[in-house]
Amino acid sequence: DQQVKQNSPSLSVQEGRISILNCDYTNSMFDYFLWYKKYPAEGPTFLISISSIKDKNEDGRFTVFLNKSAKHLSLHIVPSQPGDSAVYFCAASGGGGSEKLVFGKGTKLTVNP
């Protein structure tokens, strides 16, 4: 039973355009959400997070939106750059700490020059 779902295994966009990566969750107890970015042969790195008390969090070109009623969050990258090509993991936590962090399967983003 997948609690965090990233239904698009891959996404391809043109440089300069917007990339939108989606994530759905089923557990209503989740109250903290994170995005991690992973390049080949490297470990994931933290990108951005959002608490359930907010519906938007922005950090430079990256914005995460949270729709609690729909149990949906999305990561927007504007403008997309070739260096953004990576696998993006959505993760969620239900207040139990990082040992309860649940990861999605990831979405591979390719930004074409």
Residues near other proteins (CB under 8 A): 4, 9, 32, 34, 36, 41-46, 49, 89, 91, 93, 97-99, 101-106
Q: How far is the CB of 3 from other proteins (least distance, A)?
A: 10
3-state secondary structure the chain: CCCEECCCCEEEEECCCCEEEEEEECCCCCCEEEEEEECCCCCCEEEEEEECCCCEEEECCEEEEEECCCCEEEEEECCCCHHHCEEEEEEEECCCCHHHCEECCCEEEEEEC
Q: How far is the CB of 46 from other proteins (least distance, A)?
A: 5
Q: How far is the CB of 48 from other proteins (least distance, A)?
A: 10
- 97 vs 113, which CB is nearer to other proteins? 97
